[in-house]
Structure 1
């Protein structure tokens, strides 16, 4: 089915609004994530060339959503745990389950200054211990600062020769997300992470405000 750009954006906007209403009515903690958060921060709208939406939910929220369906469904390791689908055009919203972890995180993400090179940006090196993030997945292959994750018997050389997308682990300080805040997206309000700037820089790099077409 061929869909005009304005149709696609309207369908995505309706999809995001419907999902936000459903989650809020169910009292499930959520926030917009990844490319959807990027569009909100740049212009308070969806990214014009995006074809899906991204939401984060806590493990508790995901468990609640799973209890609404009596059937048992096994989710393959590394797969997106849930998707909210527009049945007319097939567009969808990813729902990433964020789990809490204890560990060290070097906070070396900061905004670019004029003349900075992406690879040479270094911050203050603050370490924190309360982390949160989804399971390692190929869905995070664009994440600039996410470490790559290899399967048993796999290394960077064998991975580079593969046609599969790179699996990466996205974990950030818990206080980058909580407490959540309301933010405007299109004509309605949604929930956003507490600190959108370092969050987006971690995913898209320190020049995340510069539009770039995605594959």
Structure 2
């Protein structure tokens, strides 16, 4: 019996980690270019086109404003179209990614905006192209902040992945609902919460450590 419960926890934890890390990778892949566009198209940016910045900003803010549990339900048809099902770990990655992309984009935008304008102007004066400035100045200088932003995003994804268990997404949230809440097993729910807290602490610690070392290296 104990072995079966241990296996349940192991499978659920691995499923949660799969959802979180896959969604985080997708969030960076799409969110970072979005953050760069938001940064360079703002007034005073490298490529100031106010209309593009406003449209992108509106879409990002609109997506962020929708509560995750509602977004989860709204995206069920789209999730079925993408992965063929609305249940399980793979299906949960779709809404998790869509909610993480604008979240990370806004955090990354803040970090990119904090890069010294004097440094950017100096590189531009040397004849560097916009693409060169983004690759060689913006991203490297903002990297510690980007890592911190990714850490915050992953912590939010851990919480959201547990919420996704409501619709049978798998992972620790699903374990807490099916074996804890529905069976009135308080001990099971407390164990799930403990694991989620531990995962959050580990992710936060690793992210803070990497960010601190990058800051020290940039100095």
**TM-score normalised over the length of structure 1:** 0.21
Higher strand share goes to which structure? 1
Larger radius of gyration: 2
**TM-score normalised over the length of structure 2:** 0.21
Higher relative contact order (Cα pairs below 8 Å, separated by 6+ residues): 2
Higher helix share goes to which structure? 2
